[in-house]
Amino acid sequence: MAIEQLSPEADQIVVLINPKAGWRSREKRRNAFLSLLKQSEFHVTVSSDLSEACDLANRAFEKGTLRTIVGIGGDGTAAELVNRTVPGVPFTLLPAGTANLVSRHFRLPKSPAKAVAMIRQGRVCRFDAGNANGRLFLAVASCGFDAEAVCRVHERRQQRNGRYAGYFSYVGPVLRLIASYPYPEIRVTFGETSEAGPQEAVGRWAFVFNIPQYAWGLPLTPQAIGTDGLLDLCTLAKGGLFHGLRYVAFAQFAQHVRLSDCTLAAAQRFRITSEHDLAYQLDGDPGGRLPLEIEIVPDRVRLILPEKSPAAETKE
C-alpha cells in the first residue's frame, strides 16, 4: 500500500489528552510534546474532552485544513478516536497507555521531538480496522479468560475514578479470577460460505487480531500485518492455569503455532458464540457480551507514521 503525503496547507492539529492514560511520570513527556508543537508552524488546539476533540478534527478535515488529531494515550484512546472521527481523518499517537500495541507495531516514537518531526514530515498509511458488533477496533478482539480479566480491571478502575495503574492493576483481579474462572467452550465460525459451509474452531480462548502481538508483546498471530484485508484468528483449545501458562511460554517464542490444540486462520468475517454468558474485550476495554460478529473494514484508518515503520518500509 502506497504511503500518502499530507498537504503543506494542512496545518491544524488537534491534541487529545487522556488524563486516565499513563503514569504521572509521563506528564513531563506530554508537556514537552505540547510545548514543541506550540512552537512549531502548526495551529494547535488541545482538549481533554473526547467529543470536543473529535468534533474539532472532523470540522477541520471537512475544510481541508486538518493535519492530524493526536491522541496522548494508548490503544483505547486510538480506538475512541477512530470510532468518533469520519473516515479519512489522519491520526497518530504519543504512546502513554498500558500495552500500546498500535504504537509498538508501527514504531510510533515516544520522544516528543521525534513525534513532532514525524507529524511535520506527514507520511500517512492506510491500514485496516475490525468491526465488532458495530464498533471499530484496531488491535484485537477476544473473549475468554483475558476478556473477563479486562472487565474486572475496568470495574476496579471505575471505583478509583478511572485512574491508570498499568499492568499491576491486573494482578489482583487475575489472581482472584484464576481461582474461579470455568473456561467455558467458545465456538468461532469463519470464512466465506461455500457448499461445505463455513469453517469452525472450538476453544477455551479466542482472539481475533488485526496486528500480530498482544499484551507485552506475545506474537499470537505472527502472520497478521494490518494491511492485507484480513483478520487473524487464534484459538486455544484447553482451559485452566496449567494450559494458560503453557500457551504463554510457547507463544513468547512463537512456538504455539506448532501445538495441536492451537488453531490459526485468516478470514474477513468471524462469528463467536458460546452457550455461556461470556464477555468480550476490544483493544483492552470491555466490549460487551457474546454473540460477537466481526468483519474487516479495509483501509479504514489513516495513520501518520515514521519513516522506519514496517508499513512505510514494505508498502511503498
Q: pLDDT tens for residues 151-172? A: 998 887 777 665 555 666 678 8
Domain boundary residue, one of 57, 89, 121: 121
Indicate whether 117 and 147 sit together in one domain: no
Indicate whether 87 and 48 sit together in one domain: yes
Indicate whether 147 and 74 sit together in one domain: no
Indicate whether 161 and 68 sit together in one domain: no
pLDDT for residue 315: 39
Indicate whether 268 and 145 sit together in one domain: yes
Residue 70 lies in a domain: yes
- Cβ atoms of 156 and 128 within 8 Å: the answer is no
Indicate whether 148 and 254 sit together in one domain: yes
Give residue-wise pLDDT tens across range 229-240.
999 999 999 999
Can you tell me whether residue 6 is helix, strand or coil?
coil
How far apart CA 312 and CA 308 sit, in angstroms, is 6
Indicate whether 115 and 195 sit together in one domain: no
Residue 306 lies in a domain: no
pLDDT for residue 38: 93
Indicate whether 20 and 141 sit together in one domain: no
Indicate whether 51 and 111 sit together in one domain: yes
Residue 312 lies in a domain: no
Q: Phi/psi at 220 (nearest 5 deg)?
A: -70, -35
Confidence of residue 149 (pLDDT cuts 50, 70, 90): very high
Q: Dihedral angle at the C-alpha atoms of 57, 59, 62, 66, nearest 10 degrees?
A: -40
Q: How many domains does the chain have?
A: 2
Confidence of residue 316 (pLDDT cuts 50, 70, 90): very low
Residue 9 lies in a domain: yes
pLDDT for residue 251: 97
Indicate whether 106 and 160 sit together in one domain: no
Indicate whether 171 and 103 sit together in one domain: no
Confidence of residue 173 (pLDDT cuts 50, 70, 90): confident
Determine the residue type at 278. Answer: L
pTM for the model stands at 0.93
CATH number at residue 205: 2.60.200.40
Angle between helical axes of 50-63 and 75-84 (0-180°, round to 10): 50
Indicate whether 148 and 64 sit together in one domain: no
* Cα 273 to Cα 144, 152, 183, 264, 290, distances in angstroms: 11, 21, 14, 18, 6
pLDDT for residue 232: 98
Residue 266 lies in a domain: yes
pLDDT for residue 247: 98
Residue span of the structural domain in which 170 resides: 135-297
